[in-house]
């Protein structure tokens, strides 16, 4: 469907909604009325600009037609100016309409579950994973979001071999989805006595949190094991079987939680993580099926992709997906991520807009 065809369909839908909203009997069903009114309001700006675009195109056609038969020099100048103004206005309106038509990710308003795991670099990678967790926690605090640790495996020096946590707040996924991938740190580790710069990595996965209605889990598909939780180094921290391990038999996905003293709380946290992972698997399956029909988008999910480097000697942060380097390392690690995230969001919008223009 071409750009113009899409707009004609939108205008047709808008006019049908106007007709429906004028029917007195619709007011008896307030929920249905509210749904139609919301859709009508969402389409109104696009339709208004589309109609203005059509008027500008019509003005340009009329000026062009009159110019062909005009012999008076002053009138020719006037018509040329009118034609140019109408064409420029139409071009501007077209860009504004296409920007409004850029599809929104339906998951953008969701809460998220984030998983950070130490990668290459041993204890230094675990320390870096801990710093990334603190970075996201501080960013969430800046946004007024809440953070809840769901599962963690601390390292001996205070970092994390793995930490899984939820971030709850309006638009959390829309901002944090760009963080999935491999994060790399370059610095002199505290464990290095020779003063050499080492490179370590940690992987970040960002999963939209799934509602129970979105992921139907058959209890018969679950194997639930309980065991005693342990702390760093394997020491026992609990004398009861409060830790929970859930295995989803059809997929083989395994989730363990042991942070809470209550087996019930650990079980609920494990199910939240499992639902998010299963939703992610289904979305990735759908994306693979649609891969030949869409262009890849800016860094929104490949956990094997090296996306960012944090270089301590130079005090810089480089995002490799969009070629952006900023020299505010301390501020970024303190949760000041907006410059990076907004640049990534802008690049994604530009790609989607380019897709619209190619239609």
Among residues 283, 102, 89, 301, which one has the least CA distance to residue 182?
A: 301
The answer to whether position 356 is within a domain reads no
User: Which pLDDT score is estimated for 289?
Assistant: 61
| Same-domain check for residues 96 and 117 | no
DSSP 170-197: TTHHHHHGGG-EEEEEEE--TT-SS---
Residues 130 and 215 in one domain: yes
Q: Identify whether residues 120 and 49 lie together within a single domain.
A: no
Same domain, yes or no: 74 and 123 = no
Q: Smallest Cα–Cα separation from 209: which of 271, 151, 299?
A: 271
Residue 162, helix vs strand vs coil: strand
The tokens for 81 are 């100016």
Which of 26-35, 47-56, 240-249 is modeled with the greatest confidence?
Answer: 47-56
pLDDT tens-digit profile of 97-132? 887 887 777 888 889 999 999 998 889 999 999 999
Domain boundary among 101, 128, 158: 101
pLDDT reported for residue 301: 38
Domain boundary among 101, 125, 150: 101
Write the pLDDT tens digit of every residue in 305-356. 689 999 999 999 999 999 999 999 999 999 999 999 999 998 888 887 776 6
DSSP of 269-328: HHHHHHHHHHHHHHHHHHHHHHGGGS---SSSS-TTSEEEEEETTTTEEEETTTTEEES-
pLDDT band at 15 (very low <50, low <70, confident <90, very high): very high
215 and 333 within one domain: yes
Q: When comparing pLDDT for 172 and 216, which is higher?
A: 172
Q: Taking residues 286-290, report their average pLDDT.
A: 64
Q: pTM value?
A: 0.67
Percent of the chain with pLDDT over 90: 55
Q: What percent of the chain has pLDDT over 70?
A: 88
Q: What angle do CA 7, 296, 350 make, to 5 degrees?
A: 50
pLDDT in tens, 177-202: 999 999 999 998 876 767 788 999 99
Q: Are residues 245 and 130 in the same domain?
A: yes
- Residue 34 and residue 180 in one domain: no
Residues 119 and 217 in one domain: yes
Are residues 88 and 125 part of one domain?
no
Distance between CA atoms of residues 247 and 264, nearest Å: 16
DSSP class of residue 249?
A: T
Query: pLDDT for 35-72, tens place per residue?
Result: 899 899 989 999 999 999 999 999 999 999 999 988 99
Q: Please state, in angstroms and rounded to a whole number, the distance separating the CA atoms of residues 130 and 123.
A: 11
The pair phi, psi for residue 12, each rounded to 5°, is -65, -45
* Tokens 């769901």, residue located: 150
Q: List CB contacts of 129: < 8 A, sequence separation 6 or more.
A: 116, 117, 118, 159, 160, 161, 162, 163, 202
Task: Work out the number of other CB atoms within 10 angstroms of the CB of residue 103.
Answer: 8
Q: Which region among 50-54, 169-173, 286-290, 341-345 has the lowest average model confidence (pLDDT)?
A: 286-290
Considering the domain architecture, whether residues 96 and 116 belong to the same structural domain is answered as no
Range in 9-13, 206-210, 239-243, 266-270 the model is least confident about: 239-243
What SS3 string covers 64-103?
HHHHHHCCCHHHHHHHHHHHHHHHHHHHHHHHHHHHHHCC
Residue-level pLDDT at 158: 87
Q: Region of 100 please: left (phi>0), alpha (psi -120 to 50) or beta.
A: alpha
Q: Are residues 87 and 150 in the same domain?
A: no
- Determine, yes or no, domain membership for 209: yes
Q: Could you tell me the CA-to-CA distances from 161 to 154, 184, 225, 231, 243 in Å, in that order?
A: 6, 15, 22, 12, 18
- Dig out the tokens for 338 from the structure: 């907006």
The answer to whether 126 and 157 are in contact (CB under 8 A) is yes
Confidence label for 249 from pLDDT (cuts 50, 70 and 90): very high
pLDDT at 279: 86
- What's the CA gap between 200 and 120, in Å, rounded? 5
Question: Angle CA(355)–CA(101)–CA(42) in degrees, nearest 5?
Answer: 165
Mean pLDDT of the 269-296 span: 73
Assess if residue 49 is contained within a domain.
yes
357 in a structural domain: no
CA dihedral 169, 172, 175, 179 (to 10 degrees): 130
CATH of the domain at 291: 3.30.70.1660
Report if residue 89 sits inside a domain.
Answer: yes
Q: Which of 101, 132, 156 is the last residue of a domain?
A: 101
For the chain, how many structural domains are there in total?
2
Same domain, 239 and 170: yes
Residue 107 covered by a domain:
no
Closest CA to 346 of 290, 294, 297, 284: 297
CA–CA distance, 298 with 2 (Å, rounded to integer): 24
> Quick one: pLDDT at residue 297?
37
Structure tokens at 333: 């690690």
Measure the CA angle with vertex 33, ends 30 and 35; round to 5°.
Answer: 110
Largest Cα–Cα distance of the chain, in whole Å? 99
pLDDT over 50 (residue 303): no
Residue 122, both tokens: 């041993």
Q: Per the domain annotation, does 15 fall within a domain? A: yes
State which residues form the domain around 70: 3-101
């Amino acid at each position: 469907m071409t750009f113009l065809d899409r707009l004609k369909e939108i205008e047709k839908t808008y006019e049908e909604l106007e007709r429906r909203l004028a029917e007195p009997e619709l007011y008896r069903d307030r929920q249905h009325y509210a749904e139609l009114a919301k859709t009508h309001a969402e389409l109104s700006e696009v339709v208004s600009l589309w109609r203005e675009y059509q008027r500008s195109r019509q003005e340009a056609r009329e000026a062009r037609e009159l110019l062909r038969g005009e012999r008076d020099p002053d009138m020719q100048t006037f018509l040329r100016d009118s034609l140019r103004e109408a064409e420029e206005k139409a071009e501007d309106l077209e860009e504004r309409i296409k920007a409004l038509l850029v599809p929104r990710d339906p998951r953008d308003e969701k809460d998220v579950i984030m998983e950070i795991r130490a990668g290459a670099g041993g204890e230094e990678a675990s320390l870096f994973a801990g710093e990334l967790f603190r970075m996201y926690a501080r960013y969430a605090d800046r946004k007024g979001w809440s953070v809840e640790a769901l599962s963690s495996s601390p390292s001996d020096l205070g970092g994390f071999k793995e930490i899984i946590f939820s971030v709850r707040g309006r638009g959390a996924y829309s901002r944090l989805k760009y963080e999935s991938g491999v994060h790399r740190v370059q610095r002199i580790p505290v464990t290095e006595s020779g003063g050499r710069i080492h490179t370590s990595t940690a992987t970040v996965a960002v999963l939209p949190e799934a509602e129970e209605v979105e992921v139907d889990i058959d209890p018969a598909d679950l194997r639930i094991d309980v065991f005693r939780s342990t702390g760093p180094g394997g020491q026992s921290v609990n004398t009861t079987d409060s830790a929970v391990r859930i295995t989803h038999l059809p997929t083989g996905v395994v989730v363990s939680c042991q942070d809470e003293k209550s087996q019930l709380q650990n079980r609920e946290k494990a199910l939240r993580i499992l639902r998010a992972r299963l939703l992610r698997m289904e979305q990735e399956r759908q994306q693979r099926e649609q891969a030949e029909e869409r262009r890849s988008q800016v860094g929104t999910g490949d956990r094997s992709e090296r996306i960012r480097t944090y270089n301590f000697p130079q005090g810089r942060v480089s995002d490799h997906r969009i070629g952006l380097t900023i020299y505010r390392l301390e501020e970024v690690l303190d949760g000041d991520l907006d410059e990076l995230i907004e640049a990534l969001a802008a690049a994604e919008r530009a790609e989607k807009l380019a897709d619209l223009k190619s239609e």
